[in-house]
Structure 1
Amino acid sequence: MSALTSGSVVFQNLRKTFGAFTAIHDLSLTIEPGTLVTLLGPSGCGKTTTLRMLAGLEHPTSGRILIGGKDVTMLPANERDVSMVFQSYALFPHMTSLDNVAYGLESSGLKKKEARERAEEGLKLVGLGGFGQRLPAELSGGQQQRVAVARALVLEPQVLLLDEPLSNLDARLRRRVRTEIRELQQRLGFTAVYVTHDQDEALAVSDRIIVMKDGHIAQEGTPRDLYEAPASAFIADFMGEANVVACEVISVDGEDATIRIGALEHRVPSRNARKGPAKLAVRPNSITLEPAAEAAFSGTITHTAYLGDHVEYEVETANGPLFVVDPAVERPLAANTSVSIGFKGRGIAIIND
């Protein structure tokens, strides 16, 4: 199978209500052709409703949806050039893998011989050549999901939709299959819209991430943008754990600012900060701890947990509790130890809530 024809996706002022409840509020978003964009957020944030509107399984209350420049807002699902991969796989249990992949092709009017040839090609594409005669029950969960991906891809859609595609897999399989999906998307160059609530999954597969909250876009950007420069305490905490602590911005010099916590001063990206009280998001692995009776910024360890390749600490400070992840397992610090607290160069950002 050669590179697929990828299409753009445009949401224009999209709104969706269910009775008195508004699930999506005036959402506008453009997804460029050939990119994998993830809709990420907690349960009830609107990500699945947005995907279902794109698929034609729900219609918006107002606004427009364009695929490849064509207005598809009110078109039924079968008239949109999209294919969906569901979290439940939705394979026919009485049909072989080959028949499952060929089903959509045959239903669209393709002759059986050609449909089966393309289905064989689709199975090879996802690494399941030779598995065509196996029933779904004879496949692992990861293999079943790859059959579902092959079934969607052989239809050569402009946009592939993936709805929590890895949620039924164990942790090790999730890592492997998400890598396979990402490599396949990059190799074939198709547009993909991926829905998940798993932050690690989103960081691993995405060109861009759209974080949603209460039917709005809370922040969008590259995985690195969202992790290293969260725009709010919600984003900082949702995109991996973060300590949110009060600080004071004592100077701003172009793209850098100097903040003070206790008597400790540290340089961070300014991100339009102003002098005065502010909040700082600090990743747990961006904090350093050293035994010390007195320090510019100090605290006391209240809990220590050894987890094999790192140690987790809970530290009480005058600015509130901190959660710290330290890879230095050879020298763990005991509970009740007074510590000097410092910051590394990355994973620290002023947030502008």
Structure 2
Amino acid sequence: MKSNSAGSVVFENVCKTFGAFVAIPDLSFTISPGELVTLLGPSGCGKTTTLRMLAGLEHPSAGRILIGGRDVTMLPANERDVSMVFQSYALFPHMNALDNVAYGLESSGLKKKEAREQAEAVLELVGLGGFGQRLPAELSGGQQQRVAVARALALEPQVLLLDEPLSNLDARLRRRVRTEIRELQQRLGFTAVYVTHDQDEALAVSDRVVIMKDGEIAQAGSPRELYEAPASAFIADFMGEANVVDCEVLTSEGDRARIRIGALEHFIPARGARPGPARLAVRPNAVTLEPASEAALSGTITHSAYLGDHVEYEVKTAAGTFFVVDPAVDRSLETASSVAVGFRDRGIALIQPDLNEPGFSYGI
């Protein structure tokens, strides 16, 4: 693959309607050359429609799409210089891996010998050197997916599109293949747009994540930014689960704010907070549980589940019910027992109001 083939992607005020239904009302974003950006969101949020418009499988109702600085808004798929990896792999079952990868090269006019040489080189790149003569049925799911990636990369596209590429793999294989895709992308430096509904997948592979909701961008940023500084309760809960509770900001000086939940006070990053009512996102592993005492925030365990390397609890308090992930598996906190609830220094963030909660004044 050419090192200089990576292209930029620009959406300018793109709208997509299906009859009276507005799937994408007004979408604008930019992806830099060599960047892997994931479109993440629940079913129906518009991420797949966005990818299909970029691929040329759908056309915008309004707005512009540019790839490598060229307006491709109304161009057909075969004139866009993009390649797509589908969740179903879409390999030809009667062709071996080498022929599957070489097929697109031959169709584009390359001589058979050159096409096979390039196909062999790309199979080597994805770790499948020596597997070229195997049929898809003779390969594992992860190997088939790598053949699909190799076939797409062989065409040296400006942008590689990946539509839920790991959804057909089991959990352990998903972890391995997503690592391989990320390492390959970083090594070759190609631009990639990755669509998934899996938060862990998005965190693991992305330079940036664009979280979509109702056809719009709810928040965009690096995986760390989205996880540690969610802009809303929706983002906080979608990016790895969070306990969202009311709190009060007592003081805010510099980069630290002092907050109160019930009678419990705690210092957290300020994020521009000002004194007054607010909401707090608390990650399950940021909650600490200790035996009952004269605690500022006490609770009662209503559910517990041992999961090998951690224990999950639900704890009812005056401030609300907390879902807790506790790594201390060597102790047993029984259902109905009383505990003292506290918080760690990391995994807590003040959040902005959700758009569908206009009546709440968060004081942020």
Structure-1-length-normalised TM-score: 0.99
Deviations 1:288-336 (A, max 9, x none): 0111242111111111111111111110001111000110111121112
Residue of structure 2 in register with 1:298 after alignment: 298
Note the residue ranges of structure 1 that are not aligned, 5 or more in a row.
none
The alignment status of 1:232 with 2:223, answered yes or no, reads no
Residue of structure 2 in register with 1:211 after alignment: 211
Equivalences for residues 16-165 of structure 1 within 5 A: 16-165=16-165
Q: Counterparts of 1:271 and 1:224 in 2: how far apart (Å)?
A: 15
Alignment-mate amino acid for residue 71 of structure 2 = D
Residue of structure 1 in register with 2:312 after alignment: 312
- Contact 2:280–2:348 (Cα < 8 Å) also in 1: yes
Q: Counterparts of 2:253 and 2:140 in 1: how far apart (Å)?
A: 56
Decide which moves more: 256-265 or 193-202.
256-265
Residue of structure 2 in register with 1:223 after alignment: 223
1:254 offset after TM fit, Å? 2.4
Q: Counterparts of 2:137 and 2:189 in 1: how far apart (Å)?
A: 31
1:252 offset after TM fit, Å? 1.2
1:262 offset after TM fit, Å? 1.3
1:274 offset after TM fit, Å? 2.2
Residue of structure 1 in register with 2:181 after alignment: 181
The 3-state SS of whatever aligns with 1:34 is coil
- Contact 2:120–2:129 (Cα < 8 Å) also in 1: yes
The 3-state SS of whatever aligns with 1:172 is helix
Q: Counterparts of 1:141 and 1:32 in 2: how far apart (Å)?
A: 31
The alignment status of 1:277 with 2:277, answered yes or no, reads yes
1:215 offset after TM fit, Å? 0.2
Q: Counterparts of 1:66 and 1:202 in 2: how far apart (Å)?
A: 24
Q: Counterparts of 1:255 and 1:50 in 2: how far apart (Å)?
A: 37
The 3-state SS of whatever aligns with 1:99 is helix
Identity %: 81
Q: Counterparts of 1:332 and 1:34 in 2: how far apart (Å)?
A: 49
1:4 offset after TM fit, Å? 4.9
- Contact 2:2–2:156 (Cα < 8 Å) also in 1: no
Residue of structure 2 in register with 1:5 after alignment: 5
Q: Counterparts of 1:331 and 1:172 in 2: how far apart (Å)?
A: 28
1:257 offset after TM fit, Å? 1.2
Alignment-mate amino acid for residue 146 of structure 1 = R
Deviations 1:183-241 (A, max 9, x none): 00000000000000000000000000000000000000000001111110000000011
Please, what is the CA RMSD of the aligned residues?
0.9
Q: Counterparts of 2:74 and 2:183 in 1: how far apart (Å)?
A: 33
- Contact 1:38–1:209 (Cα < 8 Å) also in 2: yes
- The number of residues matched between the two structures is 353
Residue of structure 1 in register with 2:344 after alignment: 344
Note the residue ranges of structure 2 that are not aligned, 5 or more in a row.
354-364
- Contact 1:3–1:187 (Cα < 8 Å) also in 2: no
Q: Counterparts of 1:352 and 1:324 in 2: how far apart (Å)?
A: 23
- Contact 2:250–2:259 (Cα < 8 Å) also in 1: yes
Alignment-mate amino acid for residue 113 of structure 1 = K
The 3-state SS of whatever aligns with 1:53 is helix
Alignment-mate amino acid for residue 262 of structure 1 = G
